[in-house]
């Protein structure tokens, strides 16, 4: 599965579809009913599940007046090297991997085996408060076994943020996304070889605005306070990272700095525009930052 974070606007339809499929339904041998719970804030809703096999992490970057929000989905990554499988009392029976790569926790033999849940570095296994068994996303294995082409959550997404397919099929869209490097795994440093990949994971950005030191009039007599088309160059630890020109608001933005959530370090930004002085910003930046205005003079 590939999740395109850029296409998600947080409607939660995928999350609700998962609850709809699993609460009150046993899909043996792959899963037993997900535990329902009453939301503490909305007790009038008889059923709002307190356990989600897919969650949305609300990632906010930057701050007023320049902030961005992304929704990052987390579900079982169906790892090829899954520590949850090894942690069971009887790997191969209690936990196992299907031929299609889906990792299964046996719902009938794992009661009380909380060590299975503790073994997942992604924190994607829940202990069912009613049955006391570890549970997680099954990639809707019962639907695939019945001939469906994709899981319930994928069906439910109105923006096609998910692409589901066979990573070994060289003709599939997911194969292209992963092997082109467009889609990347979350936390590959865990070493579990996950099979869920992401496009558009939020990383660190540095943004700012280029302005005249005092209002300038152009050849049409229009007063401009910002400088569009200025050249902005970003350097990280003395290595040039890229260059761009400011937009019609005089703004620039370097996004995608480093891995997930970004890489801090000493950044320098130099700005120049035709007929103007140059300006430079240098500072240690560790999180997405709007550096404010850089003023140039004629």
What residues make contact with ligand SF4 under the rule CB under 6 A? 8-14, 17-18, 21, 53-54, 56, 71, 75-79, 82-84, 103, 120, 122, 124-125, 136-140, 151-153, 156-157, 159, 161, 192
Nearest distance from residue 171's CB to ligand SF4, in Å?
Answer: 22
- In angstroms, the first-to-last Cα distance of the chain is 53
By beta-carbon proximity to ligand SF4, the closer residue of 163 and 288 is 163
Task: Tell me how many degrees the CA angle 71-73-78 measures, rounded to the nearest 5.
Answer: 165
CA distance 141 to 21: 12
By beta-carbon proximity to ligand SF4, the closer residue of 121 and 264 is 121
By beta-carbon proximity to ligand SF4, the closer residue of 2 and 294 is 2
- Residue pair 230/246 in contact (Cβ under 8 Å)? The answer is yes
Nearest distance from residue 278's CB to ligand SF4, in Å?
Answer: 43
User: Of 99, 81, 214, whose CA–CA distance to 145 is shortest?
Assistant: 99
Determine if residue 181 is left, alpha or beta; phi over 0 gives left, psi from -120 to 50 gives alpha, anything else beta.
left
Residue by residue, what is the 3-state secondary structure of 167-233? CCCCCCHHHHHHHCCCCEECCHHHCCCCCCEEECCCCEEEEEEEEEEEEEECCCCCEEEECCCCEEE
User: Of 42, 35, 41, 1, whose CA–CA distance to 18 is shortest?
Assistant: 35
Nearest distance from residue 181's CB to ligand SF4, in Å?
Answer: 22
> DSSP strand E in 51-137: where?
55-63, 66-74, 95-97, 103-105, 126-127, 134-135
By beta-carbon proximity to ligand SF4, the closer residue of 8 and 178 is 8
By beta-carbon proximity to ligand SF4, the closer residue of 3 and 207 is 3
Nearest distance from residue 31's CB to ligand SF4, in Å?
Answer: 8
By beta-carbon proximity to ligand SF4, the closer residue of 153 and 271 is 153
- Residue pair 73/8 in contact (Cβ under 8 Å)? The answer is yes
By beta-carbon proximity to ligand SF4, the closer residue of 39 and 148 is 148
| DSSP 8-state secondary structure symbol assigned to residue 149 | S
Nearest distance from residue 85's CB to ligand SF4, in Å?
Answer: 7
Nearest distance from residue 170's CB to ligand SF4, in Å?
Answer: 23
By beta-carbon proximity to ligand SF4, the closer residue of 77 and 212 is 77
Nearest distance from residue 122's CB to ligand SF4, in Å?
Answer: 4
Rg (the chain; Cα; Å):
24
Residues with Cβ < 8 Å from 75, sequence gap 6 or more? 53, 54, 55, 124, 136, 137, 153, 196
Q: Which residue has the tokens 């660190």?
A: 204
Nearest distance from residue 139's CB to ligand SF4, in Å?
Answer: 5
Q: In 3-state terms, what secondary structure has residue 152?
A: helix
């Amino acid at each position: 599965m590939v999740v395109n974070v850029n296409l998600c606007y947080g409607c939660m339809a995928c999350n609700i579809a998962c609850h709809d499929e699993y609460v009150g339904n046993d899909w043996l041998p792959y899963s037993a009913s997900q535990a329902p719970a009453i939301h503490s804030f909305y007790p009038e809703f008889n059923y709002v599940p307190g356990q989600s096999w897919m969650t949305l992490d609300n990632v906010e970057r930057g701050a007023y007046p320049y902030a961005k929000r992304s929704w990052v989905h987390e579900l079982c990554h169906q790892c090829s090297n899954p520590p949850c499988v090894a942690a069971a009392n009887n790997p191969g029976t209690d936990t196992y991997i299907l031929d299609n790569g889906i990792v299964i926790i046996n719902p009938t033999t794992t009661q009380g085996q909380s060590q299975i849940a503790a073994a997942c570095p992604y924190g994607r296994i829940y202990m069912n408060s009613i049955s006391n068994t570890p549970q997680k996303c099954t990639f809707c294995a019962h639907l695939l076994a019945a001939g469906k082409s994709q899981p319930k959550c994928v069906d439910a997404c109105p923006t096609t943020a998910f692409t589901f397919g066979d990573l070994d099929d060289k003709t599939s869209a997911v194969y292209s996304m992963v092997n082109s490097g467009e889609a990347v795994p979350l936390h590959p440093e865990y070493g579990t070889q996950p099979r869920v990949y992401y496009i558009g994971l939020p990383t660190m950005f540095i943004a700012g605005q280029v302005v005249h030191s005092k209002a300038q009039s152009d050849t049409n007599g229009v007063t401009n306070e910002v400088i569009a088309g200025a050249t902005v160059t970003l350097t990280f630890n003395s290595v040039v990272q890229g260059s761009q020109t400011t937009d019609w608001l005089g703004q620039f933005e370097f996004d995608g700095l480093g891995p997930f959530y970004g890489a801090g370090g000493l950044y320098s930004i130099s700005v120049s525009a035709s007929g103007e002085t140059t300006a430079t910003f240098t500072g240690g930046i560790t999180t997405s930052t709007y550096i404010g205005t850089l003023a140039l003079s004629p």
